[in-house]
Amino acid sequence: MRLRIVEKLKLTNRIKDTMHCMLAIALILFVAGLTPSPAHSSGEGGSRDEATQLIRQAADATEHAWEEFHDAAIQGTLASPLMQVTIEGQLHEVRGLLMQARIAKRSQDYQSVNAITQQIQEITENIIEASRERKQ
């Protein structure tokens, strides 16, 4: 009986050691992911303030596109149910892109911020145009 208790304690200690190692590795990977790489910290492609402004403009464009879509959906004037599904997918995509732009800004990857926010602007323009398209 005593031998089983000792074996269980050893097993418990091994599990704890394994968990501590896994947590340490996860922490190291997390910190490494937040540290900007030298390639991105050179400031090429813009500045932090410019990135903040671009992201704010993209967020505003996203909000405007959502409002246009929502108004058309509430009024029942969207061109078709397929158009509604398409726009909903685009809105979901834009929100994901906004998150990517914010992550790129934190990583000081201003070229990516510029490219992503430009993509957001294009998609939101398409959403607004499609939302204004009325049923035939």
With CA atoms as reference, report the closest residue to 38 among 107, 106, 115, 114. Answer: 107
Look at residue 1 in the predicted model and tell me its pLDDT: 61
- Token pair for 122: 């294009």
Look at residue 43 in the predicted model and tell me its pLDDT: 45
Kindly report whether the global pTM for this prediction surpasses the value 0.85. no
The whole-number mean pLDDT for each consecutive block of 10 residues of the chain, a chain of 136 residues, reads: 61 58 62 51 67 96 95 89 92 96 95 96 95 83
Look at residue 40 in the predicted model and tell me its pLDDT: 43
Look at residue 58 in the predicted model and tell me its pLDDT: 96
DSSP 133: P
Look at residue 33 in the predicted model and tell me its pLDDT: 60
- What percent of the residues of the chain are helix, what percent strand, and what percent coil, each to the nearest 5? 80, 0, 20
